[in-house]
Structure 1
Amino acid sequence: MTMAPMLAQTAGNDASAPGVGEPDVRRCFASLRELAQAHGLSRLSMGMSQDFRIAVEEGATDVRIGTRLFA
């Protein structure tokens, strides 16, 4: 099962929507990790090229890094 927050990408390849900073992204990923653990999920897909490091720190087992590879 994949649980991934959808954050709008803004001009300039910014990591998140206006007003959404690293603390908010980290909180969101931490909440998803807790939810996955509560439901016994072994895989957690969250994070993209702009915030994959935070996602991995918060327990992601899968990340999407297409922009990093193909930009």
Structure 2
Amino acid sequence: MADDRVISDREIWATAGLLLQEYGDMASFEASKKADSLLDAGDMAGQRVWLRVVRAIISMTDTEGATPN
């Protein structure tokens, strides 16, 4: 079954930001748990959305390669 939900990048980044505010260092873990639960429920489209959130959180918190000012 095709899924017609369209989630914008802006919504993904906003969700990632909210999760970081609420869960701090555990935000990617919490988003991953949500993705896993959707996969278990057979909601592949939902899982893909939450995996995008996980990637956004990782991108927002990645400090490797960052140079100090």
TM range (shorter): 0.3 to 0.5
Q: Determine which structure has greater relative contact order: mean sequence separation of CA pairs < 8 Å that are 6+ residues apart, divided by chain length.
A: 2
TM-score using structure 1 length:
0.38
Higher helix share: 2
Structure label with greater radius of gyration: 2
